[in-house]
Structure 1
Amino acid sequence: MAFDRIQLADFRNHRATRLDGSARFNLLVGANGAGKTNVLEALSLFTPGRGLRRAQLSEMARDDAAGFAIGADLVSGVTPVRLGTALQADAPNRRIVQASGAPLPASRLAEWLSVAWLTPAMDRLFTDSASGRRRFLDRMVLAIRPEHAMHSGRYEKALRERNRLLSADRGPDPAWLEALEKEMAEAGAVIAANRAAVVGELSARLATLPEAPFARPEIAVDPASPADADRLADTWRASRAAERGAGRTLSGPHRDDLAVVMAGTGRPAADCSTGEQKALLIAMTLAHATLSKSQGADGGRPLVLLLDEVAAHLDPVRRAALFERLDESGAQVWMTGTELALFAGLEGKAAVWRVAGGVAEKA
């Protein structure tokens, strides 16, 4: 178990929605535009970052509301922890997070639970920008190593300041650049090491999987920054003149990419068919879920999977295989679909809510 007693207030098209009595499998069923994905997005905000849509906070509040609030019980031990996150009218650009009423930095949410998701927009992951693949990689890393959020925050803050100095009209102070590069190098080395370790562990897990019914991916970080603070700092120091001309930092963990090829063919994922790309994504997500479980996400940090319209694009054989592997993962699973028939085989295992017009009613 993970989430229960979920409440949404003025979030997207949900004025006041409550979902009680969750289970291992949870199905949100309704027409397109009913508000199913909005529930998944609300749950995704119990992670560091901007959630599964990467929307601006102001876009998440109802049209007639100045803010929103989301609450959920995190059930992972004897006593549930009440998590809450909100956008308040007097803080329009800042998301507030609480655990049992006490303030909590959003970056520390990963210490409480592990969350991963698949959405239709991610079908373009392999053909879109490296930044999207990097975010996908970092979410996988964060699920295994919750401290990754803290180091990423340190790195990004120093990177923004270095880029500001590089793009300034006046030449930057070398001593200030040196200090920023030291901060970036310390955090960047940990980021690179975390990525390499998790990709190595996930690759080993993927290698044990059959190539059917889902395509089996082979993954690597390419290019990969060195997990060495001195080397990173030396590179940035030597690149100052060129990067001042560009007005930004041109190398480092913020430029790394996730490379994916189909096992057996060596074909890059970007060159695979749409169906093959979908299968590769699902295979990676399922393997990562079992890795998260074996690494201890079920021994104190619940694992939650948010799967938006995934079953609709699979044939019956692959749907059955998906449900079987999800059951083995130990994760709490939230899935959306336009009709209950898509989830045949989960009868008796799943809690079901009918969603319409921003209202969810338990079936």
Structure 2
Amino acid sequence: MPAQGLTIQRLALHNFRNHASTVLEMDSRPVCLFGANGAGKTNLLEAVSMLGPGKGLRAASLPSLVRVDGGETVQGGWAISARMDDDGLDRQISVGLEVSAEGRTRRIAKLDDAPVSQTNLAELIRVVWLTPAMDRVFAGPAGDRRKFYDRQVLAHIPSHGSVSAAYEKAMRERNALFEQGRPDPSWLDALEARLAEAGAAIAVNRAQALQRIQNAIDARPEGEFPKADLSIAGEFEAMALQGDSQEGIELRIRDSLKDGRGRDSAAGRTLSGVHRSDLQVSHRPKQLPAAQCSTGEQKALLMGMILANAKALLEGDFAPNPLLLLDEAAAHLDSARRAALYDELAALGGQAWLTGTDAALFDAFGDRAQRFCVENGLVTKVENSG
């Protein structure tokens, strides 16, 4: 049996989405949630994703997560708590939205009853997910692929979130100077220094994660989920992949920004940088860009990438076992691929969470998984019928 590492043993939700007060008790096996559309299955996956950094798998605003009852948002915030087994060590994690008497809101997080930052939580909890919204990521705009890929990078390098936020903030401020007209060169120098520092870190992070994920893809056996070849279309990521130092990449970004001031000023925005890079994926057996593959082939490629990333996290010395969230993934697979997915998840280690409308979708798991029926925000554990 694979080592289980970090697993959720108890999950409790209070006034989160359509869950007024929900508690799940479970073991380390994959967790299968079934029920009708709108029952609250994805809300449970979203709650698990909120234990890690960021805004979770829907990227929703924190106040919008508060339960609505009878058309009215309930008073107070929401709360999620999880008791976790970290290779035999009990950990208690809680996150929530706190609402002050004046109506101000803030996110709070605790680890073993002590306040903790999101960055520190990210060191403990790595979450990887796949949702139906990602199904066409290969054929969609570059921004969607960057967002998808940066989430994979974040699972490997928790600091990626903070440097990405710093980059976006510096870029907004630089763009604002251009919109005001005739910006002070010394202000631009300062902002471009911050932008280059964060941009270089982003490029290096993306390159490191790409190598790890590609290695995990290459090591996968041939099977139902075809192997992908990954690359990044971006000058600065290319420098990182070629072995250039982060300091050298930072200097190149600063020079590029300074040289492009006239063009960027005319456009009112920053036209080059890591915010314009693009993840490129090809179907290795067919030697075909993913965007040109059929819908089913794209979904199979995407599933293979997510499984490879989970494996890369499992085998690295930089992370505990990830939590793998697969929303409605089983429904989009034929029976052969569904059985192959369950075999792989059962052998993978870590803890996987899956949703589906029908309990029969999970029959191929047998007794290797645990099942919960979700109905109108209520959850019932169901014994395996064999």
TM-score, normalising length: structure 2: 0.88
Q: Is the 8 A contact 2:226 2:285 kept in 1?
A: no
Equivalent of 1:287 in 263, 285, 308: 308
Matching residue of 2:20: 15
Residues 212, 243 of structure 1: alpha-carbon distance in 2 compared, 3 angstrom cutoff: same
Within the candidate set 235, 252, 264, 2:285 is matched to 264
Aligned sequence identity (%): 44
- Correspondence for 1:39: 44
Judge conservation of contact 1:8–1:16 (CA < 8 Å) in 2.
yes
- What is the CA-CA distance between 1:210 and the residue it aligns to? 4.4
CA distance 1:92–1:259, change in 2 (3 Å): farther
2:266 maps to amino acid = G
Where do 1:106-185 residues align within 5 Å? 106-167=118-179, 169-185=180-196
Distance 1:82 1:92 in 2: 26
Once residues 199 and 166 of structure 2 are traced to their aligned partners in structure 1, the CA distance between those partners, rounded to angstroms, is: 9
User: Number of aligned pairs?
Assistant: 360
Deviations 1:247-271 (A, max 9, x none): 2211111111110111132322112
What per-residue deviation string (whole Å, max 9, x for no partner) do you get for residues 10-33 of structure 1?
A: 111111111112322111111111
Is the 2:32–2:371 Cα contact (8 Å) retained in structure 1?
Answer: yes
Residues 164-189 of structure 1 show CA distances to partners (whole Å, capped at 9, x for unaligned) of: 2222x242221122112111212211
**How far apart, CA to CA, are the structure 2 residues paired with 1:77 and 1:264?**
38
Q: Does 2:253 match 1:232?
A: yes
Quote how far apart the aligned CAs of 1:163 are: 2.1
- Which residue of structure 2 aligns with residue 302 of structure 1? 321
Match of 1:30 among 13, 25, 35: 35
Q: Which amino acid aligns with 1:206?
A: I
TM-score by length of 1: 0.93
Say whether residues 1:83 and 2:101 are aligned partners.
no
Partner of residue 60, structure 2: 55
After superposition, residues 56-71 of structure 1 pair within 5 angstroms as 56-63=61-68, 64-66=73-75, 67-71=77-81
Whether the 8 Å CA contact 1:221–1:259 is kept in 2: the answer is yes
- Which stretch shows the higher mean deviation, 315-324 or 8-17? 315-324
What code does the residue aligned with 2:55 have? R
Amino acid at match of 1:324: D
Gaps of 5+ in 1: none
Q: 1:105 aligns with which of 117, 124, 139?
A: 117
Change (3 A) 1:136 1:240: same
Partner-residue secondary structure (3-state), 1:88: strand
* CA root-mean-square deviation: 1.8
